[in-house]
Each structure stands twice: as C-alpha cells, then as structure tokens.
Amino acid sequence: MPELPEAETIVRTLAPHVEGRRVLGLRLLSPRAARRLWPELSGRRIERLRRYGKRVVFELEGGALVAHLGMTGSLLWRGASGPYTRAVLLLEEGWVCFDDVRQFGALDWCETPPGDLGPDPLEMSEGEFVARLQSERASLKRLLLEQRFVRGIGNIYADEILFRARIHPDARAAAIGAVRARRLYRAMVAVLREAIECGGSSISNYVDAEGRRGGFQRHHRVYGRAGAPCPRCGRPIRKIRIAQRGTHFCPACQRR
C-alpha cells in the first residue's frame, strides 16, 4: 500500500492538521504497533510532518515519531476507532488514528530523525543515479525495491517504472548502459510525480489522511494487469516472480 507517492499524499493531507499542534499522548491499542519504549510525549509540539522514503515522520520537540505503514497501514485525521485501529495519537485539538489490518506496520521513536536509507528518488540527480547503478550487479527490479539503494519505491512503482523505461525487470543494473540508465531515471521521476499528482494508488486499503482513495491505479500500465493487453504494443502483460515479488512486464516492449 504505502510507497513513496502514498506516503507523500498522507503527509500532504495530514500536515495542515497536525503541524504546530501539541501532543497530549499516545494510546496503544495493539502491542505490535509500538517498536520500543516511549518517552513522555505529552506537551511536545509537532514541529513538522515529513516523508522519509515510505515512512511518515512526526518531528516533535526532542525526537521523531516514525510511522512505518507496512502493507496496510493508514494514518487518519480524526479517524473513527475500529477493529483495525492499532494506536491513536491524541493532540490538543483532534487526533490521528493509526489503522493497520495486517499489522506489518508499526510506530517507532527516534531521538534523531532517521537517516539510514538511500537517497530520495525525487531529490537525487540523474548523474548520481546513473553512477550508483554502475556499481550494482543485482537485477533492476531487486535494486529498485532495495531501500538502501533508493528510498521509497515498492512493488507497484518498480514495475511501472521499468515498463515506462522499457527495460526488462531482470536486467542487471551495471550492464544496462548509459542511455538506458538515463531513461530509467527519467521514468522513475515521471512515474512517481504522476502518482503523487493522482494521490497515490489504491489497490485495496490505501486512503489518505482524509480517508480518500488515490487515483493512480487507473493509470497502471502493467501492475495487476497480467494477461491484459500492453498499452503500448497490445501483447499480453506477463507476470513472473523476481526477488520473491510478483513482477509485471511486457515481454515485447521490455526485452532482455
């Protein structure tokens, strides 16, 4: 569910409600929802809400509350408490529900903002991206999913990016050459920007902080379209498995 465009959309829709407000406390409704012991949050001001890769970061006075949304996590402004509400962040005015059906997500507390992942794909230059690719021998699909290589891309957008770049998902990173490496960079930026414009992709659970679904699933060219005609050449989209993830591509447009 939440890859970079979804996390970005959550931040944009939640930030106006929470930035500048003070925290009253955190109610944990599921023990799995918290990754460690917490300091007292009460009275701390939310200075800024931002995205770090796929994660949503509440920058508080004295530390950061990091939301890992896993596969099905959402952050809902003034959300109604339901069976999948795992935690509630209470503010002076209003609250944020952390809902997560599968419980692969969690909240984390960091004294210093997180900085352990690779560069953000929308902040990285084309030159930096091409240079980083050259030292990697893994497949491009695996590499795009690797958060220490670039932060924020998941299974949907990896497939959509590779289709747009017309590169086979199993191609080896270091072997694709400068022309295709630049095409891959431009496809990555274009797909992510368009997905943000559309408010992300809603496959099943994803909604923004106001509970609204995204629209980019209507623009998916390969993801979830196995057997359907390729929008570029009309031949059927194929689904294979790379790095233990379903991988959708057009065998005609994305040759080895």
Partner DNA sequence: TGGAATGTTCGGCT
Partner DNA sequence: AAGCCGAACATTCC
What are the residue numbers of the active site?
2-3, 54, 245
149 scored as a contact of DNA (CB under 7 A)? no
Q: What is the DSSP string of 9-62?
A: HHHHHHHHHHTTPBEEEEEESSGGGBSS-----TT-BEEEEEEETTEEEEEETT
Site string for DNA, 1-40 (x = CB under 7 A): xxx--x-------------------------x--------
**Collapsed DSSP state (helix, strand, coil) of residue 172:** strand
Q: How far is the CB of 45 from DNA (least distance, A)?
A: 28
- Whether the CB-CB separation of 223 and 248 falls below 8 Å is answered with yes
170 scored as a contact of DNA (CB under 7 A)? no
44 scored as a contact of DNA (CB under 7 A)? no
Please enumerate in sequence order all residues whose Cβ is within 8 A of that of 101, keeping only pairs 6 or more positions apart, or say none: 72, 84, 205
Query: In 146-176, which ranges are continuous DSSP H helix?
Result: 155-165
- Whether the CB-CB separation of 54 and 10 falls below 8 Å is answered with no
- Segment contacting DNA (CB under 7 A): 16-24, 88-96, 125-133, 142-150? 142-150
199 scored as a contact of DNA (CB under 7 A)? no
Q: Which residues bind DNA (CB under 7 A)?
A: 1-3, 6, 32, 53-54, 68, 70-72, 83, 101-104, 137-138, 142, 145, 147, 154-156, 201-206, 239, 243-246
